[in-house]
Structures are given as C-alpha cells and as structure tokens.
Copies of this chain bind each other. A is one copy, B any other.
C-alpha cells in the first residue's frame, strides 16, 4: 500500500442512483473531470451489483466516452478475495474509484475492513476521487444505511445501520431519496442517532464533498440534509412500527449550485440559474435604457458627444 501523501484527501462523489449515462451526463462528467480527465485512471468496483460483466462494460464505455484516460475493473466477490493483496494492488495508482449500485450489504460484508477496503481508504487519503452510485454512495459513510422501508413518516425499526468505509464521517447517506420516498427512513436513523447528519441524495444527482467538509450539489435533483443536533425524539422508547417523534431537526434541501459546510452545518452559498426568459427581458430592458440614455444625452449636446454616447450605448 502506498504511503498517504501529505496532500488533502480526495473528493467524494455520493450519487443517488440512476445517473444519466446518455446525453446530459452531468454527474459522471463531473466525476471523470475530478478524477483527472485524460489523465484519469479509474477503478470500477461492481461488487454490489448482481450483474456481471455488463455493468463493467457500461461504465467502461461511459467513462471512456467522457474522456477518461484508463478504466480498470476490480471485483472482489467475497471477503477472502478482498483480503488478497493482488486484487487490491491496482488501487495503488488509480486517480478514481467508482463503486456501482446494487446491494450495499455486499459492500459492507465483502469490503469494509479488508485489504481491498483499506486500499480504497488509502487512495482517498492520497487524493484519489472516490465515489459511487446508490449502494456505492451509502458505503462511503462511516455509518451505512443497510436497508429500510419506504414512506415519509419515520417509524420505529424501519431502517438499519451497518458499517461503511468511513470516508465520510458523522453522516449517513441515503439514495434514490425523492424517487423512493425515503424521508421516513432517514429521519428514523437521525432520530436514533442525532449526532449523524442525514444526507438524502436524489437520482441523477451527486453530493460532492471536497476537503472532507465542503458539500456541493451536481445534477438534476436535490440533496436533502437533516441535521438532528438539536432534535427531541422518543426513538429510545417508542414501540416497534410506531411513528417517531422528531422535533426540531434542521432541514436543508439543496439543488445544483448549492454549497454547504458539513462542519458548521450551514449553507455557504447558492447559485441559481436565471431563467432564459428573464435574461431576454433584461437584455431588452437594457437596450431600451441605453437608447433612452442616448436620447436624453443627445438633447442639446454637440454631435461629437452624441456620437460618443451612441458608441458607449452599443459597447
């Protein structure tokens, strides 16, 4: 295993599943760029998937068409394989690790705490980008959501935690968040463990974490954060399946363009794309104003000044 260099830790991509692989591939494009583009060497880890070579070929093709320099597939399919240094060896010089979707319990069962898992952690520490989609997103956290029921209302025992890779600390990552109605299961975890920040990522959307603390949002949907530090709950005593009390959680729904400080748990900023119609209206209004200014200025001034005003107006 290479020594972690003194550079900052690599960027994390927690993708909410179903990221676009044709046309507007915003999320995967950002991943390839972060991994180094033409200089990228990306390891695809399809361990969570029940599909075989298909899923590897899909990502190999997408990453190649997005300009990634090299793509290798690494697939430990048991804890024994993940303990084999030969399987983990290629992670020593990758610039990116991408874990596919599937069953995240396969990732925690086969990878967490093995030679392979440690090599992923080491890659992150020396600056490689580590990301994944769906199951591959959940495994990034220290406390991993293993499974749970659907529904907006948090209920006692509706979800389960397991042990993830620990690249993202103090947080739990859920995926397919809007599409599978997962407020309830995320809230139930935060109600039980209010120190955790709940992160719910929509499909075709990524929570991109740089320097271990700055979260930015890329993609079509939103990233929902539930900050439970000040909440009151009855999760230590409620009956199984009963709705849980969760009072005083801070809620943040962040679309693309948002940035959030995970340490202070506050919004850093947001860039909102201005609607096209507004751009057009503003341009039209500016043109009108320029014309008006020109006409006002032209009243009673010399032809030279008038021409100067006209020139400025058209600059």
Report A's interface with B, CB cutoff 8 A.
151-154, 177-179, 181-184, 187, 200, 202, 220-222, 224, 226, 232, 234, 237-240, 242-256, 258, 260, 267, 270, 272-275
A253 to B155, CA, bound (A): 10
Q: Which residues of B sit under 8 angstroms from A232, Cβ to Cβ?
A: 267, 270
Chain B residues with Cβ under 8 A from A243's Cβ?
202, 220-222, 253, 255-256
Min CB distance, A237 to chain B, in Å?
A: 5
Q: Are B250 and A251 in contact (CB under 8 A)?
A: yes
Contact check, B250 vs A246: say whether CB atoms are below 8 A apart.
no
A-B contact pairs, 12 of them (CB 8 A): A152-B224, A153-B177, A153-B224, A154-B253, A232-B267, A239-B273, A239-B275, A242-B273, A243-B255, A248-B251, A249-B250, A249-B252
Of A221, A222, A226, most buried by chain B (CB within 10 Å of CB) is A222
Question: Complex Cα distance A248/B252, Å?
Answer: 6
CB pair A152–B183 under 8 Å, yes or no, is yes
In the bound complex, what is the Cα–Cα distance between A242 and B242 (angstroms)? 34
Indicate whether A253 sits within 8 Å of B248 (C-beta atoms), given known contacts A152-B177, A183-B183, A274-B237. no
Residues of B within 8 A of A179 (CB): 151
Complex CA gap A223/B194 in Å reads 20
Cross-chain contact B273 with A245 (CB below 8 angstroms): no
Contact B202 A153 (CB under 8 A): yes
Expressed in whole angstroms, the Cα–Cα distance for A202 and B112 within the complex equals: 39
Contacts A152-B182, A245-B254 known; list 5 others, CB within 8 Å: A154-B222, A202-B243, A242-B273, A248-B267, A250-B251
Q: Which residue of B lies closest to A240 (CB)?
A: B275
Bound Cα distance from A63 to B176, whole angstroms: 42
In the complex, how many angstroms separate the beta carbon of A214 from the nearest chain B beta carbon?
Answer: 15
Alpha-carbon separation in the docked complex, A236 to B272 (Å)? 10
Given contacts A152-B181, A270-B234, contact A244 B255 (CB under 8 A): yes
